[in-house]
Amino acid sequence: MTIVDVLEQNARSYSDEVALVEINPEEKEVKRTSWMEADLVEPNPMHSYRREITWQVFDEKANRFANLLIKRGIKKGNKVAILLMNCIEWLPIYFGILKTGALAVPLNFRYAADEIEYCVNLAEADVLVFGPSFVDRVQTIVDSIAPNRMLFYVGENCPAYAESYNELTANCPSVSPHIRIDQKDDAAIYFSSGTTGFPKAILHNHESLIHSARVEQNHHSQNKDDIFLCIPPLYHTGAKMHWFGSLISGSKAVLLKGTKPKTILEAVSKEKCTIVWLLVPWAQDILEALDSGELKKEDYCLDQWRLMHIGAQPVPPSLIKRWKEVFPNHDYDTNYGLSESIGPGAVHLGIENIHKVGAIGKAGYGWETRIVDENGNDVKQGDVGELILKGPGVMKCYYHDKKATEEVLKDGWLYTGDMAVEDEDGFIMLVDRKKDVIISGGENLYPVEIENFIRNHEAIHDVAVIGMPDPRLGEIAAAIIELKPNMIVTEEEINDFCLGMPRYKRPRKIIFADIPRNPTGKIEKPKLREIYCGVSLVEAQNKG
């Protein structure tokens, strides 16, 4: 079975039930309607506040796009790139690609024009599907990419250099093309975060995708009555693979555009969401809005909200402690994974283990873990080493990059580059990225440990610790600190607070500034090194 089979099964079993809802609070509400009805009224209702589609319409839309691609010569092994903001078209387009046997190639919506061109060329994409937010960027590279590939535009006012997705698919059959797909067939190319120079192309097969769906449902027990609120970008494995839990359970999901605390709580309340995946900054913002009185919990219907989980980055224990004080009835969970391991779930805390907050957990469903030294030998329990993973969700390779593949794939094990330690109960705790470790006067400093300590200060919203060059010690730890609104704290106060850490771990430089994070919530430390250490992003690739 593949995830394509699951979609078709849902279309048969739950044909008239809602599969996806899109909410865009920044657009004026026009009419509350289903996508099917909207298509009859207006060919491309891109500006509705709320849109929804049933499982049957979802599958039909995927079939229409699949048949369009096949008509245009796309077949097994071809690649189709997706460059869209989160919208109700995103997943039907993704599944339409898979139904042809071609590979889906999701692209980061933050890519500049040269990065779009680089990734499209690296993946050897035959088609680029893009939306209104990318017209200007695509136009700057159209002369170099258009001669070799088709460009389909999803939205109103199709630019002259592309073809209208809506008009073309409207005239295509809505029945399945019935292309035989095997679990070992290539399915998708994802890209690494791209915070350290141009990203790597990560090749996965259909086995990876269906395994991620099974992992998600096993970890979070999605059932038909659950409603998942999806906020992070669908191009990323994290958001999509968490949504796969909705797919495999046939339950509804809500795609929310916007991350403001009020926007999130309103969506949970109005759509009766039961599961919400947050990034650390969004959870912090919600707590701060409630603590300040900007929002009041009693103004929203939140009783059905059963699970809040966080991934994509280390989670400060202080954040979860405060969350449980505000939302005592919420189950909490965290998952760990990489795009190379098809996103979340390779390591899993489990809602029954909240007493272990701070750990990422144990090997997830169907996964194996080890912590090894530089020679690939297991370290003693309690010692720091590199976390490595093995399971059905490990990538096949970095596409067209044999050297990089050989560096991280060894005897079936994926070397993550994350330093970790296992406690006496077998729970794994991340220490830091291998390349982020600061070596100061011969001592190894792990920034995440320092960050977690500093975050306990009540005035601090976010913190990032990086290594800065030092003529005597080689490197020193520098803490970039972002304060909560209207808070005033001095460098001396931070230094006094840090007296609670061993002397060698205390940051030697304090900088008050904003913390840049990428769309999946990860701190962009290469940017910080460029700003504060004079290290270019190209040089930063060698560090982190």
Of the residues 220, 248, 267, which one is the last residue of a structural domain?
Answer: 220
- Quick one: pLDDT at residue 532? 87
520, part of any domain = yes
Residues contacting residue 471 through CB under 8 Å, at least 6 positions apart: none
Average pLDDT, the chain: 88
pLDDT of amino acid 247: 97
Which CATH number belongs to the domain containing residue 114 in this structure? 3.40.50.12780
- The whole-number pLDDT of residue 308 equals 94
Does any domain span residue 125?
A: yes
pLDDT at 313: 63
Q: What pTM value is reported for the model?
A: 0.82
Whole-number pLDDT of residue 272: 97
CA distances from 243 to 83, 195, 325, 358, 366 (A): 19, 25, 27, 25, 19
Q: For residue 229, what pLDDT is reported? A: 97
Q: Which of 19-23, 241-245, 318-322 has the lowest mean pLDDT?
A: 318-322
State which of 185, 205, 220 marks the end of a domain.
220
Q: Where are the beta strands (DSSP E) in 131-213?
A: 150-153, 163-164, 186-191, 201-205
Residues 6+ apart with CB under 8 A from 456: 318
How do residues 210-256 score in pLDDT, each as one tens digit? Answer: 999 999 999 999 999 999 999 988 998 888 889 999 999 999 999 99
Domain that holds residue 22: 3-220
More confident: 474 or 239: 239
Residue 430 has a pLDDT of 83
Name the pLDDT band for 446 (thresholds 50, 70, 90): confident
pLDDT tens column, 341-369: 998 889 999 999 988 888 899 999 999 99
| 185-212 average pLDDT score | 86
- Specify the pLDDT at position 25: 83
With a cut of 60, say whether residue 195 has pLDDT above it: no
Task: State the pairing for strand pair 413-422/409-410.
Answer: antiparallel
Task: Choose the final residue of a domain: 220, 253, 274.
Answer: 220
Q: Tens digit of pLDDT for each residue in 166-191? A: 999 999 999 999 999 999 999 999 99
Examine residue 404 and state whether it is found in any structural domain, yes or no: no
pLDDT digits 0-9 by tens, 26-58? 654 433 333 333 333 333 344 448 999 999 999
Please check whether residue 304 lies inside any domain of the structure: no
Q: What is the CATH number of the domain that holds 445?
A: 3.30.300.30
Model confidence at 437: pLDDT above 90: no
Residue 312 has pLDDT above 70, yes or no: no
The tally of domains found in the chain comes to 2
CA dist., res. 154 & res. 146, Å (int): 17
Dihedrals phi, psi of 534, to nearest 5 degrees: 70, 25
pLDDT reported for residue 201: 95
Residue 340 domain-assigned? no
Separation CA 465–CA 481 (nearest Å): 9
Residue 326 inside a domain? The answer is no
pLDDT at 74: 97
Q: Looking at 349-358, 396-405, 441-450, which range is the least confident one?
A: 441-450
Least confident of 37-46, 158-167, 442-451, 493-502: 37-46
Interior CA angle at 55 toward 49 and 57, to 5°?
Answer: 70
How much is the pLDDT for 380?
A: 95
Band (63; pLDDT cuts 50, 70, 90)? very high
Residue 305 resides in a domain: no
Of the listed ranges 100-114, 294-308, 461-475, the one predicted with least confidence: 461-475
Q: Which residue has the higher pLDDT, 376 or 36?
A: 376
pLDDT at position 438, please?
A: 85
- Residue 360: which of 313, 405, 404, 324 has the closest Cα? 313
Q: Mean pLDDT lowest for which of 188-197, 281-290, 379-388, 531-540?
A: 531-540
403 found inside a domain: no
